[in-house]
Every structure is written in structure tokens, then in C-alpha cells.
């Protein structure tokens, strides 16, 4: 355990753990065009933080519970007369606003709101690492178990029905996994940047991937490289770590986009 005494080692392990959890899920978010869904779930976590601190319980539990509630509400209301993008917009900004208002009522509680909004990877402890890697293993195992069904339901819902697969059940699996990723990633990149770590590595991997499995692997490598490289750059230039990680991921996406443009030309 002595190796974990270094805050940089803990930060690096936390970044890689979040990248491994977010990569396969991020691919499904890109394929299903669920980017705003990730934003809405992440924004709801601020309300979960406020409730957790109010009831003196684990922040992870509060965030996970609120993310699950948001995912359930969206899944229930979508397709019932509400346009999905409108529904997600209302819920995302409303939950963030209610969360920030709820935080303002917390008296006698030391709360670094900026750390929750933009992450504080350098403050990750051993217990946080256990939560992050436990969540990453859970998400990867869940998606591995349901991979074929999830892929079929994503590519062709009608074919999924014909094969005896319920697309709504598979979407529930994805929302459950998304809630876990939000809960474990909040310490590393924060509420406002979680969706970026879900989407950007997957979007970066897309031009280089001939199969869904290869895209997942490349997305994981991209996410891990962004986390480690962003941590190094933040240390060198004394910049906020979470945003620096996302900036590096965005630069990698720009490079992959240039490759795709030149290839088409």
C-alpha cells in the first residue's frame, strides 16, 4: 500500500479507472446519440450531493441514487408526448439549479463546490480508488455480460425484438451503467465534465475502428492517455486538472478528425 501514499499515483490510477469505465459506455452513448442524456444524469448529481450531505450519508450513495432517479424519470417520460431533447434539457438544467439552491442551504458543512463541478483528482484517497475501480469493474462486467444484446438493440431494435431481446430493458441496463459511471467519475472530472469524458474518447476512436469491439478498446486507450497526459500537463503548467484532462482529450479528437478529413480527401 506504500505506493498509494503518493497523491500522483492515486490520481493516475483514478483517471485510468474512470477512463476504463467510461470508454465502453461512451461508445454506446455515441452510437445511440445519448450525449444529452449523460449531461442530464451528471447535472442531477449536484442535487444528490446536497441530499447526501444533508442526511450525513456517503456522497457516492447520494449521487448514485439521484442519477438512477434521473435515468428512470427520463426513460419513463420519453415517448409519452415529450420530445427527448426537450425533456432532457428541462431535467438537466432544473436538477442542476435545484442542486445549487439546495447546497446554499447547507450550513456548518464544509463544501468545495468547485471540486464537485470540475473535479479534484489530486484529492483522491485510497477509499475513493476502491469506489472508482469497483464501479469500473461493475460497469465493464455488466456491459460484457449484455454486450451482444445491447449491440443488437442499438443497431436494429426491430431485429432485437425478433431475436427475443427487449430494447427497453437494454436501455435500462445502459442507464444503470451510466449512473454508476457518473457516481465514480465525479471526484475525478466533476459534474460539468463527465459527459465530455464519456463522449470525446469514443468519438476520437470512431474513425480508427472497424468493429464495435475495436472502437471500445481504442476509446479506453484514448481516455487513459487523456487522463495520464492531462495530469502531467496540469502538474507542469499548474492548471486545473479535470479541465486539462478534457482539453487533451479534445485535442486528440481534433487530430482524429483531421485524419478522417484527409483520408476522405
Secondary-structure percent of the chain, ordered helix, strand, coil, rounded to 5: 85, 0, 15
* pLDDT, tens digit, 9 for 90 and up, residues 144-170: 999 999 999 988 888 888 888 988 888
pLDDT of residue 133: 93
* Confidence bin at 16 (pLDDT 50/70/90): very high
Q: Which long-range contacts (CB under 8 A, 24 or more apart) does 51-60 make?
A: 51/102, 53/106, 53/109, 53/111, 54/102, 54/106, 59/186, 60/131, 60/183, 60/184
Cell numbers at 159, concatenated: 431485429
Query: Mean per-residue pLDDT for 51-80?
Result: 80
Q: How far is the C-alpha of 14 from the C-alpha of 61, rounded, in Å?
A: 18
Contact status, residue 120 vs residue 7, Cβ threshold 8 Å: no
- CB-based contacts of 36: which residues, under 8 Å, 6+ apart? 84, 85, 88, 89, 92
Looking at the predicted structure, is the pLDDT value of residue 174 above 70? yes
* pLDDT, tens digit, 9 for 90 and up, residues 175-222: 888 888 988 888 888 888 888 899 999 999 988 888 999 999 999 999
Contact status, residue 187 vs residue 132, Cβ threshold 8 Å: yes
Domains and their CATH numbers in the chain: 2-264 (1.10.3470.10)
From 138, 121, 136, 130, select the one nearest 186 (Cα to Cα).
121
Beta bridge partners of 82: 78
Q: Which residue has the cell 476502491?
A: 130
Looking at the predicted structure, is the pLDDT value of residue 102 above 80? yes
Q: Establish how many alpha carbons lie within 13 A of residue 227's alpha carbon, considering only the half-sphere containing its beta carbon.
A: 33
Task: Name the residue with higher pLDDT: 149 or 90.
Answer: 149
With vertex at residue 21, the alpha carbon angle to CA 20 and CA 23, rounded to the nearest 5 degrees, is 65
* pLDDT, tens digit, 9 for 90 and up, residues 103-146: 888 776 666 778 888 888 888 888 889 999 999 999 999 999 99
Reduced to 3 states, what is the DSSP secondary structure of residue 23?
helix
pLDDT of residue 82: 65
Backbone angles phi and psi of 243, in degrees to 5: -60, -35
Beta bridge partners of 52: none
Amino acid at each position: 500500500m506504500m505506493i498509494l501514499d503518493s497523491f500522483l499515483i492515486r490520481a493516475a490510477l483514478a483517471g485510468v479507472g474512470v477512463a476504463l469505465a467510461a470508454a465502453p459506455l461512451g461508445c454506446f452513448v455515441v452510437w445511440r446519440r445519448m450525449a444529452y442524456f449523460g449531461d442530464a444524469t451528471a447535472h442531477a448529481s449536484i442535487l444528490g450531493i446536497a441530499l447526501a450531505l444533508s442526511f450525513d450519508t456517503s456522497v457516492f450513495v447520494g449521487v448514485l441514487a439521484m442519477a438512477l432517479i434521473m435515468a428512470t424519470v427520463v426513460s419513463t417520460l420519453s415517448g409519452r408526448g415529450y420530445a427527448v431533447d426537450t425533456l432532457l434539457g428541462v431535467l438537466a438544467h432544473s436538477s442542476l439549479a435545484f442542486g445549487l439552491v439546495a447546497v446554499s442551504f447547507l450550513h456548518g458543512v464544509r463544501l468545495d463546490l468547485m471540486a464537485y463541478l470540475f473535479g479534484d483528482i489530486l484529492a483522491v484517497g485510497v477509499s475513493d480508488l476502491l469506489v472508482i475501480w469497483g464501479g469500473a469493474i461493475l460497469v465493464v462486467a455488466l456491459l460484457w455480460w449484455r454486450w451482444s444484446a445491447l449491440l443488437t438493440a442499438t443497431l436494429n431494435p426491430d431485429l432485437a425484438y425478433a431475436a427475443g431481446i427487449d430494447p427497453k430493458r437494454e436501455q435500462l441496463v445502459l442507464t444503470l451503467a451510466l449512473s454508476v459511471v457518473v457516481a465514480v467519475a465525479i471526484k475525478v472530472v466533476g459534474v460539468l465534465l463527465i459527459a465530455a469524458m464519456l463522449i470525446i474518447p469514443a468519438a476520437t476512436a470512431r474513425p480508427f475502428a472497424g468493429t464495435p469491439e475495436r472502437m471500445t478498446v481504442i476509446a479506453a486507450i484514448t481516455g487513459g492517455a487523456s487522463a495520464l497526459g492531462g495530469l502531467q500537463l496540469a502538474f507542469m503548467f499548474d492548471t486545473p486538472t479535470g479541465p486539462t484532462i478534457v482539453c487533451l482529450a479534445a485535442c486528440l479528437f481534433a487530430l482524429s478528425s483531421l485524419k478522417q478529413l484527409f483520408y476522405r480527401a
